[in-house]
Homo-oligomer: A and B are copies of this chain.
């Protein structure tokens, strides 16, 4: 892999590292090495709920002969403070300055899920809880989604496209905003954008005004794209973006500004068969899951044979197995 002992962001891998992981994941899907993680323990720390992530990481350890210890912060596990210098007289019972090095003594790597706290782009960029784990852990840290990125999801997305289209260099793909009942974090759209760019795709990002991704992420994606032979374009015209694309990757995310354009009919952005119709003939639908049917994505899209969401989720297992092998053995 790359030189980083952690994997919490795509730049820990870079373009070459991504290619290596995708290649290995694809090969191991047919025939994987056995028992390579025998006796190894992954400590999984959740600040937020999970289904795919938890099951796929635990399965990846078990299928390789290793084990996972699952800890849910605040549910059976002490609540954790991450801010420096505070007097801990409120409801958080332990500081990550103690909890993280201690946990890292018992296990061979720590995987952590810590969502955006919703306080804005700047806080997401700082990603303080995740970076606290990187700082204080004595063992490799793997992200199971943090405020800024969900890097294993991004890798699974690339593997899914690679399987469908053989290669991804120059592939026209659209990442489109979708409606939701509440503002969701941007980690998944960020990671799809970064990974698709690093895989050489021509990425079109479509969203209503007021839902911009951060300059930091867009700039990083453009740098990856440049290196890998792809491009990154942003538009507020969903139909124009989908026209001629091979992939529609839909995802709800929250506004970048306090008052997004009130004139936008948000529900019109929900992918339907009409949207699928704008894709090329070999087009597919992708989403990281979970998704809310009838609100974020139409039933008819998820039930359509062009939907690849289950394969995409399965690929989480395959890319994570490679990441775990590379960091742990």
Contacts and interface: CB of A to CB of B under 8 A. Distances in A.
Contacts of A59: 41, 69, 106-107
B69 A102 contact: no
Contacts of A41: 59, 62-63
Determine the interface band of chain A, counting residues with CB < 8 A from chain B: 35 or more
B77 A54 contact: yes
Contacts of A106: 55-56, 59, 314, 317
A80 to B, nearest CB: 9
A101 interface: yes
Contacts of A291: 94-95, 98
Interface in A71-90: 71-72, 75-78, 81, 85-89
B299 A98 contact: no
B293 A95 contact: yes
A49 interface: yes
Contact of A290 (B50, B58, B78, B107): B78
A289 B98 contact: yes
Contact of A93 (B55, B77, B98, B292): B292
Interface in A263-308: 289-296, 299, 302-303
A232 to B, nearest CB: 29
Given A75-B76, A76-B72, A62 B67 contact: yes
A94 B43 contact: no
Nearest to A309: B98
A303 B94 CA distance: 14
A314 B293 CA distance: 42
Q: Is the interface of A mostly helix, strand, loop or mixed?
A: mixed
Contacts of A105: 310, 313-314, 317
Contacts of A71: 51, 54-55
Interface in A165-220: 181
B51 A289 contact: no
Q: Which residue, of A52, A85, A99, A293, has the highest number of chain B Cβ atoms within 10 A?
A: A293
25 contacts: A41-B62, A41-B63, A49-B93, A51-B78, A51-B99, A51-B102, A52-B102, A52-B103, A54-B71, A55-B71, A55-B107, A59-B107, A62-B67, A72-B76, A78-B290, A81-B293, A88-B292, A88-B295, A94-B290, A94-B292, A99-B290, A102-B310, A105-B313, A106-B314, A106-B317
5 interchain residue pairs of minimum CB distance: A94-B290, A88-B292, A87-B294, A105-B314, A59-B106
